[in-house]
């Protein structure tokens, strides 16, 4: 029956997904039996993020011995060939200054950018025509004046050589005041990285962007506000982001009953530009005795994007049977969406029942109307590690 369901959605031979579990980089193919592992490759350190070369079968894997609560003291960038005969490391790992959180390659395929959160920094690395790292130039920008508080993502800006740096900021705590969030435009002049524009409504207070995505037509920027559990939409034209969002909509089904940690997460925009998919992610925090605790919302919210104005309007909410989907993967043809559940665990639902969860992949088919149809859920055994990153490889 499962094979028939997959075949009915045209997934007898589906796209290739890469994912990380601890140090392991694993390649899967989606088919009639779900996600089937093809091969795996051990990285020197725990995988934090990875990105792909747009035109060559290469992945750039950012690694560190640090983690969410630890800065670590060893960090590197690994170049991995994604050949048909198996994955392999193709050059010596390149040392990085800090624990990397995000990486991207620009449209010209000649520049790789990485973002770091603690301390706040960005590095730029040149790529040669084969996609290899050029050792002779590496730009480093750091300090809150240039790169804000808690950078989390750095991506190319459409129609521009500039980069967009998404800075989440930090909530206030008993020990510290709030660090404001911002969107920052970085310009690479070949010698230095300069911040040429900062977008920070209300001076960045109450503004905590984590992930951004540009509309395929290049006229809108969508920012998921992690700390506020909202989606903000900014008009964008000729390299300029408007200072205030045109729309700001909530992500949660029950915003008056928030159970922390409750976080906005990844965003994916359909290739047609008509739909956006955004993650709500949460995990339980056990009490001191280790008892199961309640948990917030884990779901994918589907928005219809107005063709003229870009306004996001909620049209579907798909609940996830699991915890903390850190990554969303959207196939290049726009037919498949996968939510990668980061960790196993247990929580207590509203009736007092204990619910056991596994890490793994939740796979949806995307229909012509943009709606999600659940296909299947695959378990990934992570042991003491986490399913920390996943994305579909380019064709």
- Residues 102 and 62: their CA atoms lie apart, in Å, by 8
Structure token digits, residue 295: 């948990």
- Residues 272 and 307: their CA atoms lie apart, in Å, by 10
The residue-averaged pLDDT of 158-175 equals 94
Can you say how many angstroms the Cα of residue 113 is from the centroid of all Cα atoms in its chain? Answer: 15
CB 209 within 8 A of CB 183: yes
- Residues 232 and 212: their CA atoms lie apart, in Å, by 9
pLDDT, tens only, 186-233: 999 888 999 999 999 999 999 999 999 999 999 999 999 999 999 999
CA dihedral 363, 62, 116, 166 (to 10 degrees): -40
pLDDT, tens only, 328-341: 999 999 999 999 99
pLDDT score of 289: 76
Q: Does the pTM exceed 0.75? A: yes
Strands (E), 1-158: 13-21, 24-31, 34-42, 46-52, 58-64, 75-83, 86-89, 94-95, 100-105, 111-116, 121-127, 133-142, 151-156
Mapped onto helix, strand or coil, the DSSP state of residue 203 is helix
The residue-averaged pLDDT of 227-241 equals 96
């Amino acid at each position: 029956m499962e094979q028939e369901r997959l075949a009915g959605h045209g997934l007898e031979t589906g796209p290739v997904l890469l994912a990380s579990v601890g140090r392991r980089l694993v390649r899967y193919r989606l088919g009639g039996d779900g996600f089937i592992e093809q091969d795996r490759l051990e990285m020197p350190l725990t995988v934090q993020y990875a990105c792909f070369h747009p035109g060559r079968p290469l992945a750039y894997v950012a690694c560190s011995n640090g983690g969410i609560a630890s800065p670590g003291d060893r960090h590197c960038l690994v170049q991995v060939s994604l050949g048909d005969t198996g994955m392999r490391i193709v050059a010596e790992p390149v040392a990085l200054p800090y624990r990397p959180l995000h990486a991207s390659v620009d449209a010209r395929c000649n520049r790789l950018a990485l973002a770091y959160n603690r301390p706040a920094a960005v590095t730029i690395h040149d790529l040669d025509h084969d996609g290899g790292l050029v050792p002779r130039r590496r730009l480093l920008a750091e300090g809150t004046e240039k790169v804000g508080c808690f950078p989390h993502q750095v991506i190319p800006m459409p129609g521009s050589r500039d980069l967009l740096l998404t800075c989440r900021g930090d909530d206030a705590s008993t020990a510290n005041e709030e660090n404001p969030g911002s969107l920052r435009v970085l310009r690479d002049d070949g010698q230095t990285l300069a911040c040429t524009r900062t977008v920070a409504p209300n001076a960045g207070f109450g503004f905590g962007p984590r992930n951004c995505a540009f509309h395929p037509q290049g006229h809108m920027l969508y920012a998921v506000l992690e700390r506020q559990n909202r989606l903000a939409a900014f008009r964008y034209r000729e390299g300029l982001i408007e200072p205030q969002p045109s729309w700001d909509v909530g992500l949660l089904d029950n915003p008056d009953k928030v159970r922390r940690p409750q976080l906005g997460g990844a965003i994916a925009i359909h290739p047609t530009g008509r739909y956006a998919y955004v993650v709500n992610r949460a995990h339980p925090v056990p009490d001191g005795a280790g008892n199961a605790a309640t948990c917030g919302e884990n779901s994918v919210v589907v928005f219809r994007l107005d063709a003229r104005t870009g306004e996001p309007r909620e049209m579907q909410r798909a609940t996830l049977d699991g915890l903390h989907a850190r990554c969303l993967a959207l196939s290049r043809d726009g037919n498949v969406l996968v939510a990668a559940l980061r960790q196993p665990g247990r929580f207590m639902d509203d009736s007092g029942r204990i619910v056991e969860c596994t890490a793994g992949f939740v796979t949806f088919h995307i229909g012509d109307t943009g709606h999600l149809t659940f296909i299947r859920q695959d378990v990934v055994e992570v042991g003491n590690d986490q399913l920390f990153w996943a994305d579909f490889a380019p064709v």
